[in-house]
A and B are shown apart, each in its own frame.
Chain A
């Protein structure tokens, strides 16, 4: 799943380790989520959204829904 966590993190000047500390996860977890290798659970997605003051939909892009929308158009 695509997301804008890397950009949001860069805006705030946080390292992956700093973000990981705030979320209570490992740095490799943040890296896996940023690169799209791992989709976080709903509770972790909510924690990420809360930390950046945004909604889940603003941070994560539902590629399946986007593809379906494009196909419908």
Chain B
């Protein structure tokens, strides 16, 4: 069993999660405001804003995986099952929508929305597997 207890793993998770989400919100709001308000050129500057918005999300994924490793074994099982089911649903949706687009059944879908869709699928799966306490 890990030396980290469930409580200390949860505390560590929330201490890292909240500031990361605040940074993500600030980066996306400020980034989209900056790009919409001003006529931003060149492309590398737009790409830099996009990378700045993505970095907190990558950090969040790192925090989430660290929590999987540090939490107790039952929660780890529920979280990993939820993560796997959420990933499966999202990848399935990507294939389905990709083929529908390829065969001209539907119009273009913004790739961005697969990110939030994954987190929704992951959250719902985890809830169904372990109840509200496991979220």
Binding site for B on A (CB under 8 A): 20-21, 24-29, 32-33, 38, 40-41, 43-44, 47
Contact = CB atoms under 8 A, between A and B. Distances in A.
Interface residues of B, number: 14
Contacts of A28: 74-75, 130-131, 133-134
Interface string B1-44: 10001110000000000000000000000000000000000000
Dominant SS at the B interface?
helix
* Residues of A contacting B: mostly: helix
A47 B75 contact: no
Interface in B65-101: 71-75, 77
A24 B5 contact: yes
Contacts, number: 42
Nearest to A42: B1
Given A25-B72, A26-B75, A41-B1, 19 more contacts: A21-B7, A24-B7, A24-B72, A25-B6, A25-B73, A25-B74, A26-B72, A28-B131, A28-B134, A29-B72, A29-B73, A29-B74, A32-B74, A38-B74, A38-B77, A40-B73, A43-B1, A44-B1, A44-B73
Contacts of A29: 6, 72-75
B6, B71, B131 pick with most chain A CB within 10 angstroms: B6
Given A29-B72, A38-B74, A24 B131 contact: no
Contacts of B77: 38
A25 to B, nearest CB: 4
